[in-house]
Amino acid sequence: MKGHLIQKKDNKMNILITGGAGFMGSHLVDKLSKNRDNKITIFDNFYNGRKENIERHLKNKSIELIEGDIRNDKDIEKIGKVDIIYHLAAQSNVMSSFFDPDYALSTNIKGTYKILRFASESKGKKFIFLSSREVYGNPDYVPVDEKHPLKPVNIYGITKMTGEMLCNFFKQNHGLKVSILRVANVYGSRDKNRVIPIFLNNIKNKEDLILFGGKQVLDFVWIDDVINSILQVSGTNKFIGETVNIGTGVGITIENLAKKLIKMTNSKSKIIKKKHRKMEVKAFIAKSTKFRINPLKLDSGLKKMIEESL
């Protein structure tokens, strides 16, 4: 299944990517910028995003950078007309949200509301919301499909669930054409502060790998597979009003992931186990009843990351 953006008659799409300088956002910019007919606005406050992620695009006349905060109305007013919004701006992981809940709550909830309001008022054609597998919490069954009840166990999951509720409110009350993607554990180049880049950084510095529990089972999905999925979902009207899981359908324990990385790098780092942290979900493997991907195998993705990191 090949997705593409539905173009207007003049072939020009005005695209807004919030969080466009972040890990996932910058990869989305890479992909969308290949079509020179697209006018892309990158909106980022650089709290998590980095200018080096998008540096090569800033000389492109079809790409505009707005350094702004989605919580700030005056910054949002700088955005021109848009046809499609990819909303990726967020406090984007569990531990960061745990240590700075005020930022997570204000950005992921208040900020999402303000961008949805902007989308509604500007009569944008589509709104793509990047949610997370964290909305499910500790699942009643695995693999987890889209019908599984939402019962997040941490602040990050709560903010993403609330973001989904806001999306559904604007869909029902303002006719906004929303699609929600619940993404598994994304990994790839430019990632930071998540388990795989943390482990690789420890290996690079000849440090031990710290596991909080280690028995957690997670579904790791390669960044390019996620970006292609986002574009396929946004490139058709089939997924308007739908919520879709994006993952590989294959899980691995954190302990086995650590062992795999040590073996693949011939590292002498040791595995140090500590007590499981309650805010971390014990298991997640994605099952999508609406969308299928042909994912890159984990070993292949890890090899790419090792070549880049070490």
* Beta strand pairing call for 84-87 and 14-18: parallel
Of the residues 113, 136, 156, 187, only one is catalytic, namely 156
Structure tokens at 111: 């900020």
Do residues 5 and 234 touch, judged by C-beta distance below 8 A? yes
3-state SS of the chain: helix, strand, coil percent to 5? 40, 20, 45
C-alpha angle 218-221-226 in degrees, rounded to nearest 5: 140
Least Cα distance to 127 among 7, 12, 239, 30 occurs for: 239
What distance in Å separates the CA atoms of residue 290 and residue 243, rounded to the nearest whole number? 9
Residue pair 86/18 in contact (Cβ under 8 Å)? The answer is yes
Kind plus residue range of the DSSP H or E element containing 221: strand 220-222
Could you give the residue ranges of the DSSP H alpha helices within 1-154?
23-32, 73-76, 94-99, 101-105, 112-121
How far is 26 from 3, CA to CA, in rounded Å?
19
CA dist., res. 207 & res. 130, Å (int): 33
Q: How far apart are CA 142 and CA 242, in angstroms?
A: 21
Annotated catalytic residue 156: yes
Cα angle 35, 37, 43 (rounded to 5 degrees) comes to 80
Known catalytic residues are 156
